[in-house]
Structure 1
Amino acid sequence: MTKEWPLALRPAPQDTVWWLPRHEEKLAEKNAMEKVDLVFLGDSITQAWEKEGADVWQVFYQPRSALNLGFNGDKTENVLWRLAHGEVDNIQPRLLVLLVGTNNAGHRMDKAEDTALGIKQILSVLAEKLPQTKLLLLAIFPRSAKPTQKLRILNNEVNQIICSYADDERVFFRDINHVFLDEEGRITSDVMNDFLHPNASQYQLFAEAIESTIVSLLAEG
């Protein structure tokens, strides 16, 4: 009997009415761009660059020919489906920023090993489709108010695995999670109202925390 692949590794679309239309819109947006130098790929935290983080995006990323491929609620298998259906085809960005995995924990409480395998598979597909592109893998952001809570621990366990995926040649790993935490490792409501999604005020801090890495990797790319 063959071992069944975890759900995190099985490409699948989300079963929501807006999701496939957004995928089609993103294909059209990508195809309409003169060039794509920078891509952000992920879930709702990435999609929110279009709303909560929109002003910061205009300053930091719009001038860099950036494309936002964040989809609310996406788990690793949803990102794998999108990659298999054209979202990075026919472009050659210098850098792609990947942040995904928190919904594997929160929606389904996937084992850390399974979420990490899903992220590893995304990196593998990206290496195949975008062989010249640098990949910046971000640690999954902290969630839940206290560091002792189950979903915070689960995300931390994933991060302990995925940090090993960096080779510092094509794949780079950065953990900026301290930006969102107080001295005792807690998340406060003025940082994340729901203890999961950064508030609008945090997108400036997010951008500033990765800026030096983005600058150096875009220069190399």
Structure 2
Amino acid sequence: MACLAAGPAPGAVILGDSLAAGWPEPDLTAATGLPILNLGLPGDRVQTTRWRLAAMAAFALRPRLAVLMVGTNSFADGDAPGTIVAGLAALVAALRAAWAPQRIVLATVPWRESPPGRSEADRLALNAAIGGLARNEALLLLDGDAAFRPEPTHGLEADRLHLNARGYAALSAALASLLRTG
């Protein structure tokens, strides 16, 4: 996790799990056009990201943009889509209360090897629910599936979960496009 040190305030923050943490800063900065503070943490679940945000809310950050990329670990651990989306809604509310970003981007869970007990249909149902939350809360939706077409596995590391450089480049291009048009 990045250190919150004295200096110029970031124009954008990213919160989430290892997919957020691994997003190269130059790619994020190019996509957003803003100095970025990456607060992603490997292993984070929706509820731990909410807890960390609550712990950091005292920092007087006022980013213009916040990117939320969290949910793959909650999904893998068997949380129901409704539980994950309710947690994301609470995270969005906490983010608005703490730092009041002008724009919030909510990312879907990109294609990944299905964890035990979960299917591709489960992931797609989760992403549909995330899309509904984005519409209801007036958030920008970063669709990981659309970013990785036609072949999602080309953007993944050998573990078929984490993104490789090609995956982050595709996601960065999708984020830049979303911010231009959204």
TM-score for the superposition, normalised by structure 2: 0.84
Query: Quick one: which of 110, 121, 131 aligns to 2:90?
Result: 121
The answer to whether residue 60 in structure 2 is matched with residue 86 in structure 1 is no
Q: What SS does structure 2 have at the residue aligned with 1:137?
A: strand
* C-alpha displacement of 1:179: 2.8
Query: Quick one: which of 13, 20, 39 aligns to 2:13?
Result: 39
Q: What SS does structure 2 have at the residue aligned with 1:41?
A: strand
> 5+ unaligned residues in a row in structure 1: which ranges?
1-21
Quote the Cα distance in structure 2 between the aligned partners of 1:143 and 1:33. 37
Quote the Cα distance in structure 1 between the aligned partners of 2:148 and 2:104. 23
Quote the Cα distance in structure 2 between the aligned partners of 1:133 and 1:163. 19
Aligned counterpart, 1:6: none
1:33-73 Cα distance to aligned partner (Å, 9 max, x none): 31211111111011112xxx355346445x62111011101
Q: Is the 8 A contact 2:63 2:100 kept in 1?
A: no
Q: What SS does structure 2 have at the residue aligned with 1:98?
A: strand
Quote the Cα distance in structure 2 between the aligned partners of 1:31 and 1:170. 31
- Segments ≥4 residues shifted beyond 3 Å: 57-61, 167-170
Percent of counterpart pairs with the same letter?
Answer: 26
Q: What SS does structure 2 have at the residue aligned with 1:127?
A: helix
Q: Measured at CA, do residues 93 and 154 of structure 1 come closer, stay the same or move farther in structure 2, by a change above 3 Å?
A: same
* C-alpha displacement of 1:132: 4.4
Q: Measured at CA, do residues 133 and 33 of structure 1 come closer, stay the same or move farther in structure 2, by a change above 3 Å?
A: farther
1:88-167 alignment runs, 5 A limit = 89-106=59-76, 108-144=77-113, 150-167=118-135
Q: Is the 8 A contact 1:42 1:100 kept in 2?
A: yes
- Structure with max Cα Rg: 1
* C-alpha displacement of 1:155: 2.3
Q: Is the 8 A contact 2:60 2:99 kept in 1?
A: no
Quote the Cα distance in structure 2 between the aligned partners of 1:43 and 1:136. 15
Quote the Cα distance in structure 1 between the aligned partners of 2:147 and 2:99. 30
* C-alpha displacement of 1:100: 0.7
Quote the Cα distance in structure 2 between the aligned partners of 1:86 and 1:142. 30
Q: Measured at CA, do residues 167 and 201 of structure 1 come closer, stay the same or move farther in structure 2, by a change above 3 Å?
A: closer
* C-alpha displacement of 1:180: 2.1
1:112-142 Cα distance to aligned partner (Å, 9 max, x none): 1111111111011112112343111111111
Quote the Cα distance in structure 2 between the aligned partners of 1:213 and 1:45. 18
* C-alpha displacement of 1:97: 0.8
Q: Is the 8 A contact 1:134 1:170 kept in 2?
A: no
State the aligned residue count: 179
Aligned counterpart, 1:191: 155
* C-alpha displacement of 1:31: 3.4
* C-alpha displacement of 1:80: 0.9
Q: Measured at CA, do residues 37 and 216 of structure 1 come closer, stay the same or move farther in structure 2, by a change above 3 Å?
A: farther
Q: Measured at CA, do residues 205 and 100 of structure 1 come closer, stay the same or move farther in structure 2, by a change above 3 Å?
A: same
1:52-63 alignment runs, 5 A limit = 53-57=24-28, 59-60=30-31
1:79-127 Cα distance to aligned partner (Å, 9 max, x none): 0110110167301111101111010111x21111111111111011112
Q: Is the 8 A contact 1:39 1:68 kept in 2?
A: yes
Q: Measured at CA, do residues 114 and 199 of structure 1 come closer, stay the same or move farther in structure 2, by a change above 3 Å?
A: same
Question: Which region of structure 1 is more displaced relative to structure 2, 90-99 or 193-202?
Answer: 193-202
TM-score for the superposition, normalised by structure 1: 0.71
